[in-house]
Structure 1
Amino acid sequence: MTSDSLLTVGLAQIAPIWFDREKTLKKVEKYISDAADRGCSLVAFGEAIVPGYPFWLELTDAAVFNSSIQKEIHAEYMHQAVSIERGDLSEICSLAKTRQIAVYLGCIERPLDRGGHSLYCSMVFIDRNGNIGSVHRKLMPTYDERLAWSIGDGNGLRVHSLGAFTCGGLNCWENWMPLARSALYAQGEDLHVCIFPGSHHNTYDITPFIAKESRSFVITVSGLMRKEDFPIGLLHRERIVEHAPDLLTDGGSCVANPDGTWLIEPTTIGEEALLVTTLDHRRVREERQNFDPSGHYSRPDILKLTVNRERQSVVTFKE
């Protein structure tokens, strides 16, 4: 084991300050600093942590068409979403640079390049120099998420160098999409980051599966949401909490080795935590000896993937 093969990573399993972008970002900043204090070179947060996952959809009959209640909730959700162009992540980027730590952050993005009035579930990578390296918009929102989030594109299917490692990541259930995973594997990914809103039932099987398929380390970070995390004074709070369970998402963040065994088991349930561990790149190289999905065990003469990474837009201007 040599120091240039090692990477210390943090998994920030936290609840958002739901529907409050600024307060949630301040909480994220605290956990970034805590991770840096513990020697981490990378810290990751759950899906949609800023300003929170759209739990109201399942709890308030969100598919009712033209509902004034749904419109009002959605409008506030949009208001609290992240606009990267506006500089909403500037302080996070500055902190990453100051503390020399990379960040994977799940957020609800409201981008200007699609008109500024649609929302995307985005996974933002910020490098240790404070630069945004990629913004991956979830390719296909899952089930009722499609009532709040738009369909993303392939622009963010990118990997990033981090010490000896090459890291990439996907949002929640798109981690089950074999071609999306393959697009990252083919770019040399050997550290895969899955982010979920929660819970253990999502993380316990997919994490070792991807690790063994890719022969990579897999970090899975879940959010947490308890009934009391819906703030007092929240718009239509009484309707949202009426049918809400005490624990909506329970965490279950975890890490798997490149052979599919557990490095951190998904046993941190129902509580906030910063889980820290150190990865040794040698383990990747050992497991690639007998299987490398995009290298010596691939057949590009027979099977090949084409990926469109163009950022999609409805208009092209020519001056």
Structure 2
Amino acid sequence: MAHPTPIHAPLTVAAVQAAPAFLDLEAGIDQSIALIAQAAQGGARLIAFPETWLPGYPFWTWIGTPAWAIMRGFVSRYAAQSLCYDSAAADRLRAAAREHKMYVVMGLSERDGATLYIGQWIIGPDGIDIARRRKLKPTHVERTVFGEGDGSDLAVHDLAIGRLGALCCWEHLQPLSKYAMYAQNEQIHVAAWPSFSIYDPFAHALGAEVNNAASRIYAVEGGCFVIAPCAVVSPQMIALLCDTDDKHQLLHAGGGHAVIYGPDGAPLCAPLAPDQEGLLFAELDFDAISVAKSVADPAGHYARPDVTRLLLNPRRARPVEYFSLPIERPGDDSAHIETTAINPAGIA
């Protein structure tokens, strides 16, 4: 089991509650850079962004048919505006993290080839990538847009600011995935959410009360700090997405409910109004983790591995694995063997 890095000084962090530059990647990068600068001015060393902040959450999956989404151009436009890690747009974010010496946990629609993934990208204060995780299982209709992650995405990273991990949205309702994170002695957790404005008020499970409770119980169960950024649905997004009365009944403006919790589940900052945009700041005192885990450490002294245990496969799952075959030279009775790599794509 990994041991947490000793932390002595309190850490200031920031959570984003704002409306994205919907379906406009370059404008979203501009907005993100401005928020990173604002967080740095507020003394933060880490900033966390909502789920699929770039280029916004595909709410059309919840309010219309797949055919309607295609005909309206949402499908092709979303793919075109999703982020590739090897792009100039991504380099702009790396440069902003480096300029402001900021840890950035970015929520994004990641484009890899022709497939999209719900991603969380952790960039270090030197502008170097720390991790690029994918949501393990997109939720319900999200599966019409996004591919799946794998066990390598359930990872906690040992950094100078502490042991940092991240999950998206209803991954916080998956007990085994949460336990895999707890077992890695997570100290700071980013719980990214898209907005709590869909199907309100008749789908209570999708609302702020239930899902902020999921973030809160994660803090208590894991004995860690939880930074839970949450996006806002803007009136402009409503105008673009809701072209009929029934769609207006399914999606509403607002829905921002960003929070930051301590290891005892206490909120560490005052909330913003659901339609208000801005940053939430909190100072994390790591002594609170020691106090919380002295009472209940779910993968430590409070565990019963003789009764229940978790099996975790942390390997990256690839559609194609390249390997070498032995080849016999013609006419060589000595069965001399040489190997050749089958790797037409040149992948290392």
With normalisation by structure 1, the TM-score equals 0.88
- The separation in 1 between residues aligned to 2:210 and 2:120, in whole angstroms, is 18
For 1:82, the equivalent position in structure 2 comes to 83
For 1:299, the equivalent position in structure 2 comes to 304
Structure with greater Cα Rg: 2
Aligned 1:253-268 pairs, distance under 5 A: 253-264=258-269, 266-268=271-273
- The separation in 1 between residues aligned to 2:155 and 2:141, in whole angstroms, is 27
For 2:326, the equivalent position in structure 1 comes to none
- The separation in 2 between residues aligned to 1:88 and 1:301, in whole angstroms, is 49
1:186-233 Cα deviation digits (max 9, x unpaired): 1110221100002234543112211111121111110111232368xx
Counterpart of 2:275 (choices 267, 270, 283) is: 270
- What is the Cα deviation at residue 12 of structure 1? 1.2
- The separation in 2 between residues aligned to 1:30 and 1:84, in whole angstroms, is 20
For 1:220, the equivalent position in structure 2 comes to 228
- Aligned identity (percent) is 30
Higher RCO, 1 vs 2 (CA within 8 Å, ≥6 residues apart): 1
Matched position secondary structure for 1:89:
helix
Cα–Cα, structure 1 residues 277 and 316, in superposed 2: closer, same or farther, change >3 Å? same
Aligned 1:100-139 pairs, distance under 5 A: 100-111=101-112, 116-139=113-136
1:2-57 Cα deviation digits (max 9, x unpaired): x9331100011111111111110110010001101111010001000100100112
Count of residues in Structure 1 that have an aligned counterpart in Structure 2: 307
Counterpart of 1:252 (choices 240, 257, 271) is: 257
Could you list the runs of 5+ residues in structure 2 that have no partner in the other structure?
A: 1-6, 197-207, 324-340, 342-348
Alignment-mate amino acid for residue 211 of structure 1: A
Matched position secondary structure for 1:76:
helix
For 1:91, the equivalent position in structure 2 comes to 92
- What is the Cα deviation at residue 242 of structure 1? 7.4
- What is the Cα deviation at residue 264 of structure 1? 2.6
User: Are 1:149 and 2:146 counterparts?
Assistant: yes
1:72-107 Cα deviation digits (max 9, x unpaired): 321111111111133431111121112111011110
For 1:34, the equivalent position in structure 2 comes to 38
Matched position secondary structure for 1:12:
strand
Alignment-mate amino acid for residue 29 of structure 1: I
- The separation in 2 between residues aligned to 1:93 and 1:187, in whole angstroms, is 27
Counterpart of 1:210 (choices 215, 218, 240) is: 218
Q: Is the 8 A contact 1:29 1:95 kept in 2?
A: yes
- What is the Cα deviation at residue 252 of structure 1? 0.7
- What is the Cα deviation at residue 160 of structure 1? 2.3
- The separation in 2 between residues aligned to 1:33 and 1:160, in whole angstroms, is 24
Alpha-carbon RMSD: 2.4
With normalisation by structure 2, the TM-score equals 0.81
- The separation in 1 between residues aligned to 2:210 and 2:22, in whole angstroms, is 21
Counterpart of 1:160 (choices 157, 162, 167) is: 157
- The separation in 2 between residues aligned to 1:243 and 1:141, in whole angstroms, is 22
